[in-house]
Amino acid sequence: MESEGINLIKMEPSRKKPKEGDVFVIQPEKGLYYLGRVIRTNISSKDPFVNGSSLIYIYDNSVKSLEIPSSLANRELLIPPQIVNNLGWVRGYFKTIGNLPVLQEDLLEDYGFWDVITQRYVDEEGKVIAKQPKVIGSYALGSYGSVSYKVSQVLRTKKSLN
């Protein structure tokens, strides 16, 4: 991984475990936030690294204030869904700003993960899915560092296109 690029700015650490529906922010640049959401917690998986982790979305729209929108349905994602541990919150790189119950309309319909070990597409529990999904993440446990790296790659690409 490259060390150059955008790194998430540390905010306030939290001792609270994330809950489904928690809306949080990440801050790749001072005063610039991207909304995220905890879609699922306590994932049940045969993979001991993934078991007990959370599925999150990071949305592709920056905000300047820490206000929760009325809805997050039908928003594009900045990066594919991520399976993460709680360190983003514990270390202060993910800051929860509220909670919106996760509704069916909030969920991506066609996503999955590429499992490099089995060389198959799987869901967040590691169960094989029949076809290649439209949105593909990596089937691995991530944290604030992997989210920072992926966000950095996308934002660097966006900046170079402008």
Secondary structure (DSSP) of 96-114 = EEEE-PPPGGGS-SSEEEE
Number of domains in the chain: 1
Q: Which pLDDT does position 4 carry in this prediction?
A: 53
What pLDDT score was predicted for residue 71?
A: 82
On whether residue 68 sits in a domain, the answer given is yes
Task: At 23, give phi and psi (nearest 5°).
Answer: -100, 130
Which residue, 31, 54, 57, 32, is CA-closest to 43? 54
Residues near 45 by Cβ (< 8 Å), separated by ≥ 6? 51, 53, 124, 125, 126
Question: Chain-centre distance of CA 27, in angstroms?
Answer: 13
- Please tell me the predicted confidence (pLDDT) of residue 1: 38
The pLDDT of residue 26: 97
Q: Decide if 111 is inside a domain.
A: yes
Q: In this structure, is residue 15 part of a structural domain?
A: no
C-beta neighbour count of 52 within 10 angstroms = 14
Which pLDDT does position 5 carry in this prediction? 54
Q: What is the largest CA-CA distance in the chain?
A: 43
Mean pLDDT per 10-residue section of the chain, whose length is 162 residues = 67 92 95 96 95 97 87 89 97 96 92 96 96 96 95 88 70
Q: Which domain holds residue 38?
A: 22-161
